[in-house]
Chains A and B, each alone.
Chain A
Amino acid sequence: MSIATIFEIVLAAVVLGLGIWTIVVRETYSATVGYVAYGLLVALIWVRLDAIDVALTEAAIGGGLGGVLLLGAAARLRDSEPTVADAPGKAVRVCAAILSALTAAALAGAVLVLPDPAPTLAPAAASNAWATSLANPVTNVLMAFRAMDTMLEKVVLLLAIIGVWSLTPDSAWGGRPGPRHQADPHSVLVFLARLLPPIGIVVGIYIFWTGANHPGGAFQGGAILAAMWLLAIMAGLADTPPVRSRWLRLVLIAGPGLFLVVGLAGLLFGAAFLSYPPAQAKPLILGIEVAMILTIAATLGLLLAGAPERSARQ
């Protein structure tokens, strides 16, 4: 058995153990910490499987932003966590256990009956890569061959932010999300919030730009930009924008809007909805991605900031 195999077995065992513990542990806060560590380790597995694009997304969403979102939820739930007295009864627990076991069995069955070899369109995607002059096959599929899915995914992001905003109390409608953070200007947090964002913004734009030919892309880059924005907000160096602001709403619809305009132009002047002429495919895709990275960064940041809580003047 080679060292690489032992490494893989150890990694899989560690991830499985952590996953089970995250489910079993009682306090939400501990489970969230476990989930963040789990996201980091799953990113390692994706690298091991040569799926760098997925690893980047897992590191950005699973280990970073998703963990912080759950953390906020855990902090809110902490006061209302059920005590031993009002724990669910035996019947509820048995039903939940049976339901979970059935779901797990159905998933395992679905994995077992998958056809082997799996049906794949990868050779077709690779042989038509010339049409977009982008070298990263994942970006090719996301932005050209299955562009419709990506466009609808951006619309889903927009729906998610509308869902969060709809929880706003009437008095705060149009106001700013989250509390106004105050920090000592000489504290470590403020120092870090001044030091890290310049580096983070460069890395975020780099991840986006390199996505044309190497693993990366607008979503991963946008997640990094959103994290840097939230860092400045948490240090009190910036405030969340009021949700009624026109420019903010413009940024939120820029990505899906431009995608839709280019798609309709393809319908009018080209072969089909979202068809790019091969000569202009790369500039068109890059233009859509520039609008998308702004939309994604703003949407992810606002999703984590939550519903508006105070009026714009405070």
Chain B
Amino acid sequence: MTEFLTAAVGFILAMLALGLVSILRGPGDADRMMAAQLIGTGGIATLLLLGTVANLPAAIDVALTLALLATFASIAFVKKGLSSLEADGSASTETT
């Protein structure tokens, strides 16, 4: 069972790496933002699995914290990035 869960962690980590490629390539700020959110969600899944594999119940607390603050960060991305995104929405896709 532990081996299976660890393999699942590895699979999610591979998906995280794919999300990372999306952060690197962009092209727009919105794409990067969504990829960062994907990494947050994948990180929560990894934490929950890792907590079960390594028998660390406190990893669930880290996952809870990450879930709350990743949501908060995504809202701040939109709120603070929005005016600049609207201002040069077309420019950002060209320059990146």
Mark A residues whose CB is within 8 Å of B. 3-4, 6-7, 10-11, 14, 17-18, 21, 27, 29-30, 33-34, 36-37, 40-41, 43-44, 47-48, 50, 52, 55-56, 59-60, 63-65, 67-68, 71-72, 75, 78, 181, 189, 192, 196, 199-200, 203, 206-207, 210, 214-216, 220, 223-224, 227-228, 230-231, 234
Contacts and interface: CB of A to CB of B under 8 A. Distances in A.
A10 B46 CA distance: 13
Given A10-B13, A56-B62, A224 B73 contact: no
Contacts of B47: 43-44, 47
Interface of B (DSSP majority class)? helix
B83 interface: yes
Given A63-B40, A64-B73, A18 B13 contact: no
A161 B24 CA distance: 35
Interface of B: 3, 6-7, 9-10, 13-14, 16-17, 19-20, 23-24, 26, 29, 32-33, 35-36, 39-40, 43, 46-47, 50-51, 54, 56-59, 61-62, 64-66, 68-73, 75-81, 83-84, 95-96
B68 A196 contact: yes
B72 A64 contact: yes
Contact of A71 (B19, B61, B76): B76
B83 A75 contact: yes
